Amino acid sequence: MLLSLKGTFPPAILALADGTVFIGNSIGATSTTVGEVVFNTAITGYQEILTDPSYCQQIVTLTYPHIGNYGVNSEDIEADKVHAAGLVIKDLPLVASNFRQAETLSQYLVRTDTVAIANIDTRKLTRLLREKGAQNGVIVGLALGEAVTQARIDEAVAAAQAAPSMNGLDLAKVVSTSATYAWDQTEWKLGEGYGTQDAPRFHVVAYDYGVKLNILRMLAERGCKLTVVPAQTPAADVLAMNPDGVFLSNGPGDPAACAYAIAAVQQIVASGVPTFGICLGHQIMALAAGAKTFKMDNSHHGANHPVKDLDSGRVSITSQNHGFAVDMATLPETLRATHISLFDGTLQGLEHKDKPAFCFQGHPEASPGPHDIAYLFDRFTALMQAAKAK
């Protein structure tokens, strides 16, 4: 049964900058939100997606039609709040059921003041975004008893057209931690929950450009004691901690706008400390070496992206979340490509030829998604182990 037939959800408007308008039902906060509209092909993991800081100022459309059927719990989060600007789905199931469920998706969206729309044709929206590329949009969640009017539609379209482009936006410093903190929580296990790393072998300083918590957990699981630092921390402060390795996290926005991060990574890589970057961290490492990045026409968001390891020939199904990419044609002699996307041939991984530093565009920690590429975490610990043995 479509949720609109229940009569308990007020109307909502989704307006795109090109003038396209969808009318659906509000399943979240009664408010208005603006952001870049993108689509994500993951079948599960809506809670992890909503709380991923890399979705700052983005409205996420989930292509899987039924979202919310297993509810929401207090553990499957990637940050301490919802970072996505809004949520777009096809159908909100009337019944949610899971032994870990603490509340329904709609209850969670309302409690976290997240604007969301359901009961629209997400196939049509996805085709539009795929053909025209990501564009800005607005969701207007109306109150019960409030009607959709042409005036409200016109206001929403105008707001979408007035919203700034992602190009040139430095959002890493917006979502980053404001203070340094320690991390020792390990991965979740059924019947046990999250564990603690009590006997670390390595000390890793992690730059928080919008880090997902499961990245920190997977590093801790592999024997790392983590010190997480703000995005704008100078390289000298990090190197003064004498880390065994430095990690560069994922994050939102335009990597070329993060001049402070680019400068810091240049010094860190030059120092010879083993360094590993993911997503935005991958792009920043490339920029620090002299490569260039570009805004993609069709960004990558989902949990079914095939990536080829150029050294082994191995193909991994990966989780992806990025709207910028490194231009492979601009790689300097000091870098070499290690992975490419089998969807569009874009660069997915690279490494320094003369330094213990490498990076990956996708998300080896997944959450949600497959863990095919998780071996990159083991590669990082192996680099640190080799450095300690010298």
Catalytic sites, residue numbers: 279, 363, 365
Q: How many Å from the N-terminal Cα to the C-terminal Cα in the chain?
A: 65
Distance CA(143)–CA(31), nearest Å, equals: 8
DSSP for residue 330: G
Picking from 144, 139, 173, the residue whose alpha carbon sits closest to that of residue 157 is 139
User: Nearest Cα to 263, choosing from 238, 244, 240?
Assistant: 238
DSSP designation for 298: E
Q: How many CB atoms lie within 10 A of CB 254?
A: 20
Alpha-helix runs per DSSP H in 235-357: 235-239, 259-271, 280-288
Structure tokens that stand for 101 in this block: 């469920």
The amino acid sitting at 55 is: Y
Distance, CA of 52 to CA of 128 (rounded, Å) = 24
From residue 331, give the alpha-carbon distance in Å to each of 263, 284, 287, 289. Answer: 17, 13, 9, 8
CB atoms within 10 A of CB 74: 9
Preceding peptide of 10 cis, ω within 30°: no
Q: How far apart are CA 286 and CA 246, in angstroms?
A: 15
CA 291/CA 335 separation, integer angstroms: 9
What contacts 162, CB < 8 A, 6 or more positions away? none
| Rounded-to-integer distance, Cα 382 and Cα 300, Å | 29
Instruction: Calculate the CA 45 to chain-centre distance.
Output: 12
- Which residues, listed in sequence order, are joined to residue 340 by a DSSP beta bridge? 308, 347
Residues 6 or more apart in contact with residue 107 via CB below 8 angstroms:
72
Burial (Cβ within 10 Å: 0-12, 13-18, ≥19) of residue 170: buried
